[in-house]
Chain A
Amino acid sequence: MRHIISILIENESGALSRVSGLFSARGYNIDSLTVAPTEDPSLSRMTIVSIGSDDIIEQITKQLNKLIDIVKVVDLSEAAHIERELMLVKVRATGKDREEMKRVADIFRGHIIDVTESSYVIELTGNGAKLDAFLDAIDRSLILETVRTGVCGIGRGDRILKV
């Protein structure tokens, strides 16, 4: 099953490799990993999407907790949560495709954030399925480049991950 694991970790050099090293050393799977400092610059927040049985996810959580730099670990997918991912897509936009691309981007509530004579860069936010759906909705041959941030997530309502 797919799980979203949120981590608060000391913002120190090497902290990321402790986490990624743990996953590779123990043969755990990483679907995506995002990390950036929080409003408290001494802490980073990391979101890892991993796929595994309940036993494996339990081990992952325990092993993460064992890393000295990690302050807190929660499995967001255990309860109500929101997940988002940002994607930038560079597409060819010429002739009749130019109008069509704008229209599809609007339908998906994307923004065109760069325009040239022959291309657009479209910014799109949503869960993974929505981003996939957008890519399916446009003509594949027009895609020049895509980049996705990976999932970040947060608990709904009173679920708060804080020190």
Chain B
Amino acid sequence: MTARTDALPTQEMTINMGPQHPSTHGVLRVILTTDGEVVTRAVPDVGYLHRGLEKIGERVTYAQFMPFTDRLDYLAAMNCNCAWAWAVEKLAKIEVPERAEYLRVIVCELNRISSHLIAFGSYTADMGAFTPFLYAIRERERVNDLFEMICGNRLTYNYARVGGVSGDAPPGFLEKTKEFLDYFEPKLDEYNNLISYNKIFVHRLANVAVIPAEEAVAYGLTGPNLRGSGVPFDLRKDEPYSVYPKFDFKVCVGTGERGKLGDCFDRYMVRINEMRESVKIVRQAVAQIPDGPVLAKVPRVFKPPVGEVYFRSECPRGETGIYLISDGSVNPYRLKIRTGSFVTMNLFEKVTRGLMIADIVAVIGSFDIILPEIDR
């Protein structure tokens, strides 16, 4: 086909989406090249939130770095706290009391629920339905109340410690947790009835930005984004850590139920289903939690032996891997953090080619990225 010569000349438009844009989930900048509404190229430009966390890690002690992990993923601070604690414990071979591990699993899974709630809520808001977002916030408040009970904070928890957790669960915490689970579980069905299977919503997500399983693996996707493509890979099962082997739960994967396997809808549904599995885990943990101390004896001036360690754990946004080199001093010699959101951005340009502007928003939402994790 040859181009018409008598037609008006058209040219592609370059639009700057972000860093201030309501749907980029933070200070992500995407440079869109569009032909009308169709995006010919979308290049993510990351780094607006770079704080040099890894360098900071080399300048502070192991215990002092704990509050920084809160800021690694502020929607899932518990998971990041615990990931750091587990990594350091693996490095120094510290035996952690069992009650502490149970408490960690409980708060991690509760945090996974609250993080996925935000993912769900902001995703529906991105798609134009504002109401489910407030429902999600309402439920998340109750998780925050629980966290406030156990550690005094509502966003940056700083709960885990090298060798355990900062304090035992206060009286009534476990009962309150159970109450929350009983309250929350039926809500998931309500969400599905309200919005998940809404025809418009499904049409917006199904068959958009399909990531085949091989591609997802090749690009190193992890977490719900990988499972959305149908790969049943979950570190809690495949590389068990802490007390996860004691719990019965299933790994949720995308099924392609409304379109091709690995589309935005699959990634969305994986998160909804994972919340249900997390509820299951917390229920078991609350029922089985043993008595005992919650903090191991760790010397005040903590110097782990010389060596290196890589520990990865399953965070709500994929694998958070912590690579630590110790030179035997009080500070780490080198720290490298691998996060799910950052790796996901590699694939962004590829999957968004040829989509529409509204789909870009759908893709960003379905990846559930968070900027502090991307930029660290």
A binds B: no
